[in-house]
Every structure is written in structure tokens, then in C-alpha cells.
Structure 1
Amino acid sequence: MPGSGMIAVMDEPGNVPAFDLRITIAGTDPEIWRRLLLPESVTIPELHEAIQKAFGWQDYHLYGIRTVDRKGQPRVIVGTEEAADELGAEAAAGVVLSELIDPSAAGTSKLEYEYDFGDSWIHEIEQLGPAEIPQGSIQCVDGAMRGPVEDSGGIGGYADLVSKLGDPEYRDHDGAAEWLEGMTGEPASDFDPAAFSLEAINTQLAQLARRLWPGPVSAEDIHTVLRPVQWFLDEASPAGLELTKDGYLKPAIVKAAMTALGWDEDWPGTARQEIHARPVLALREQLQEWKLLRKFKGRLVLTPSGRRVGKDPQALWDYVADRLANPEAAAVKLATRLAVHWLVEGLALSYDKRQRLLQEALNRAGFRMPGGGDVPLDAASDVDFGVRSSLRSLELTDTRWQQGPEVTDAGLKFLLDVQRRLADGGA
């Protein structure tokens, strides 16, 4: 077919020039190192995030870079503008790696990346030569040893921790094991300083690349994410949906929703009363909370906002993203910020850990109960449940009604949009 070759080429992302970097944590024995391929266009903040993922760091601390750039100028670059001003250094935002090292020149680059100015983890970066990589990707192609544990005290402290954990007879073995489990959530019995999984690292890097370079939002992305919402708005237009005398959707509508949205297979049970069909009930209540639908004279009808955005997919995307980013309650906004962050980062947190982290965040932010006491775990759990219910009204993941953070490309674009709106709206 004429032109088919061109179409095939256009459909493939193709390769782009890349850095081939060997990154070693100085002073480690055995060496802890990774070999990373990153696009030549990579910025310093993007390099920082790639190093964090590749070594298993948690991004708890500041980072900085010391080097002499390609023009022979000494450069000291620090992650945030605030820290850069404080330290009299250059902020990382806007700096690209190719300003500092030549991607075509092999050999030691005189580039040092330091993470955690207290523990002082120095990562020596060597450029191995020119390379290519699929567009929009970051890859780890080799390496050795697991990354050090956060806040373990630098080279000496981590070596001491490894010794204690490796010898059950060591006088402080139990204390070290307890500290590790509290810091990482990892059972001390599973700790292996020599562990290295290329597959696990590349899974993290692939998630990072999707987040850094998500691409533009397409009409298909909008349709995918908003499908449950759009179905309800379409069904309620123009005359609304008849309700039972108790104010629930009629069984025929519940059945139609479960079938149209593909929830019959995912949700156990065959009940068609809305009160027993949790996905439909939760979605309908959420659309009412977002003021897209309302009950009126025994029917579920579109609100003025629902009529305004119901036939405009982009407007509906913006409306829902704004609603998620700007809830009425400040505690819900904080919980939304955390939930979106966990999904964007691909963090598979247990139910208990989610609740504990949210509880700590709420108390740290100064939230208090009506009587003046700290926020208890059950109250944090209620807030988290509401936020997760809101997010489940959208098709963001492949396993919508199961545990797991596997966010689709379309879902990631939506969550990044919400994240931007949360940042624009402040705390």
C-alpha cells in the first residue's frame, strides 16, 4: 500500500542519542554501582530521579552536583532553589546534563553527585561513550549490590549495619534488625546486601520515564479515564434517570451500568439493587458530590455543571481534575496529594502503611479532632477511604477493583494533571 512504510515508521518511537553512564558510590566495598542509559536531553533533576530509582534511594534528602563543565567552569549545583540560595550554589532546575559532560567523550567525567549532605553518599559518574536508547525511556543495563539504606550513617554506618545484620551473634544484631524494619518495612531476615535485580530496577525506571515524559493528552486518553463518568452523564441526559421510592437507581439501570462498564466480571455477586452493587453506588454518589448529578423529583438529573461539561470531553476532564485537586476539606486535599503521589510513583503500599502515613501527615500538618486531640488512625482511615473512592470513579488502573497501583498511560497523564493543579493551589 502506498505510504504504508511511512506510517510504520511514524508509529514507532525510534531511538535517540543517549548518555552511557557508570555510576559508583565512592568508598563502597564491594562496589555498589549501576550502568544507566539516559537520553542526551536529560536534565539534572531528571538525572537525580533516575539515580534515586536505580539505587533504591527514597529522595528524603537534598542532593548536589560538583563538576567542571564543558567550558571549563567549576559548577556547584543543588537540587532546590531554596537550598541553592542558602548554600550560595546554582539551582538544578533548567540545567541539562550535556552542559556538564560531553555525551560522545568516554572517560572519567569529573562529575560527582552527592545525596544526603549528612551521610554524604558520593556517586562518581563516568561517561562510557555515545549510545542510543528508545525515545522516552531510561535503562539500567548492569550493576551490582543493593543500594544502601537511607539514614544508615554513610559508608561507615552502612558497613556497620551490614555486619550487625549478617551476624545473629553480634551484640546489637536485634537492635539493627529492628531499626532496619522500622526504616524500610523490610524483614531483617530478607536483607541481602548483595541483592541486585535488573528487572526490578528497570520496572522503576520505566515508571519514572512514563512520569517524566508522558506525552500529550489524547482524545482516547480522555475517553479511557472518564468512561464511567461519561456513561452516567450520557444516560442521565436529557430527562434524567428514574429512582426508586427510597432514592436508589432502579435495578435495570444498575444492570446496564455494570454491563456497559465491564464490572460484571470484576465485581463478585449478581445483586442488581444499587445498595448491593458497590461500584455503581459509589460512582453515583461521587458524581453527586462533584455536583455533576443531583436528585430532583424522583429522578437523577444533570446539574447545570453536568449539562455544561457533559458533551465536552476536555471540559469534563478539566472539571473532574479541578474537583479532585480542590476538595472543600483541607484534610481531604492533603490525603489526595498523598494518594496521587503514591499512584504516580507506582508505590504498592499496604493498607496499614497507607493509614499510618496519612495519620502522621495529618498530625504533622496540625490537624486536630474537635476535642483538640491528635488525629486517630480510624479517622485517617475514613479520609483515605473517601479519597480512594473518588479515584475509583475513574479508570486510572488496569485492576480497578483489586489491590495494585498499575496505572495506565492515560491514568498517569490524568494524575499528573491533578498533581500540577494541587501544586498550583498550594497546601
Structure 2
Amino acid sequence: MTKKTYQIQIALRGSKPKIWRRILVPSDLLLSDFHKIIQTTMGWTNSHLHQFIKNRTFYTRIMADDDWGGEMDNVDYSKIKISDLLKKEKDIIIYEYDFGDGWEHDIILEKIESNGMNKNIPTCLTGKNNCPPEDCGGIWGYSEMLEILKHPDHAEYEEYIEWLGGEFDPKYFDKIEINEMLKTQDFGCFELF
């Protein structure tokens, strides 16, 4: 069976301007490893819980003492390949990161290449805009923060600059830096959650 390469777009829901990445990954990649690639390419720090969602089924890291209950179907994502959920071009799944801030990402299968694994993958092809800082309050908190940062005379401006540790460029995106991280780390980050 010929290995396939997926071209995927990751887009942060509700972001204006749109925060997105286009990546190449192997089709047989486990969701648990795909999570690490998303963290690296988007710029998150892997500090919070996360899950993939398709058709009201939740794919996540299952721990021995998990007792989710309720009406939700939870599946151990360490046993599921992305090709199990993304089967044809334009298929979409949702990746949710940080249940408190509720960062939802649309994961869109743009193209399937059956030329094997001759490309340096995983790799980031392109993208736009900086990832929001962790714990800034979700898309609404991020929008409010950006508005405040436009006005140095705003009462909360200095507080945000201190919290951020300096200036924040919402347009920043460095494909070379992202690809270096993908090459030098185990899919870009240490699995904390």
C-alpha cells in the first residue's frame, strides 16, 4: 500500500485576521502525534487539555482514572490515525485546545498526495499571523488585548505589556522557525497533557 501525504489547513476559529497554517503530514499519523504537530505549528505551549471532535465523538488522551460520564463518546486518540477521520479532500474535524479559553481549530484536509513519503514531513508550507498568548481569555480576550495594545495610553496597556513580557506582534509568522522545531523535536513538543 502506497503511503499518502495529507496537505492540511489548520485555522483558528473566530480569529480576525485569520490565524492559520498549511502543513504536510503522513496520512497514517496518530492523532496523539498530530496534536503535537498542531501545538508546534500554531505556536501553543501544550499547557492545557485538548481533544479532536468529529460527529459528536471526542478523541482525546484517556487516562486510567477518567470518568467523563454523560452523553459523550470518548475515544483514546493514541489508537486513531488521522486517515480514520479525514478520508477525502474537504473533510473537516475540530481540534479544541484549552477547555477554559476554548480555542477551536478547523482542521481541513485540502489535498491527498499518493507520492509516498519523499517530502520532509511533517512540514509547515505557509501560514499567517501569530498564535494568541496562552491564557488570554479565548478569542474574545485576545481581540480585546489586541485592541488595548493599539492604544499605549489605555489604562491596561502597561499591564498587558508586563504580562506578555514585552511587545507582541500579532502578524508574526516564521515558517523556517516552525520547520526547525518540527525537525529537532519529537513532533515539536513534549507531551504534557
- TM-score range for the pair, normalised by the shorter chain length: 0.7 to 0.9
TM-score of the superposed pair, with normalisation by structure 2:
0.86
SS for the counterpart of 2:171 is coil
Larger-Rg structure = 1
State, as a whole percentage, how many aligned pairs show the same letter: 28
Is 1:52 aligned with 2:39? Answer: yes
Shift of 1:82: 5.0
* Structure-2 change in CA distance of 1:21 and 1:166 (3 Å): same
Partner residue, 1:176: 160
Displaced runs of 4 or more, over 4 A: none
Contact preservation (8 Å) 2:92, 2:109: no
Aligned length, in residue pairs = 184
Contact preservation (8 Å) 1:23, 1:124: yes
For 1:101 and 1:154, the matched residues in 2 are separated by 26
Contact preservation (8 Å) 2:7, 2:25: yes
Partner residue, 1:154: 138
Partner residue, 1:37: 24
For 1:203 and 1:85, the matched residues in 2 are separated by 38
Structure with greater helix share of residues: 1
Partner residue, 1:94: 79
Structure with greater strand share of residues: 2
Partner residue, 2:181: 204
Partner residue, 2:60: 78
What value does the CA root-mean-square deviation take over the aligned residues?
A: 2.2
For 1:169 and 1:56, the matched residues in 2 are separated by 29
* Structure-2 change in CA distance of 1:83 and 1:136 (3 Å): farther
Q: Pairwise mapping of residues 27-426 of structure 1 onto structure 2 (< 5 A)?
A: 27-68=14-55, 74-82=56-64, 85-86=67-68, 89-102=74-87, 105-107=88-90, 109-131=91-113, 132=115, 133-134=117-118, 137-181=121-165, 187-188=166-167, 191-208=168-185, 211=186
SS for the counterpart of 2:79 is coil
For 2:132 and 2:17, the matched residues in 1 are separated by 12
Contact preservation (8 Å) 1:39, 1:135: no
For 2:12 and 2:152, the matched residues in 1 are separated by 27
For 1:142 and 1:65, the matched residues in 2 are separated by 23
For 2:33 and 2:183, the matched residues in 1 are separated by 13
TM-score of the superposed pair, with normalisation by structure 1:
0.41
SS for the counterpart of 1:134 is coil
Shift of 1:81: 2.4
Q: String of CA shifts for 1:143-177, please: whole Å, max 9, x gaps.
A: 10011110000001011111222321111100111
Match of 1:54, as an amino acid? T
For 1:171 and 1:134, the matched residues in 2 are separated by 54
Shift of 1:115: 0.3
Match of 1:173, as an amino acid? Y
Gaps of 5+ in 1: 1-14, 69-73, 182-186, 213-343, 347-427
* Structure-2 change in CA distance of 1:156 and 1:83 (3 Å): farther
* Structure-2 change in CA distance of 1:158 and 1:137 (3 Å): same
For 1:96 and 1:150, the matched residues in 2 are separated by 27
Contact preservation (8 Å) 1:77, 1:84: no
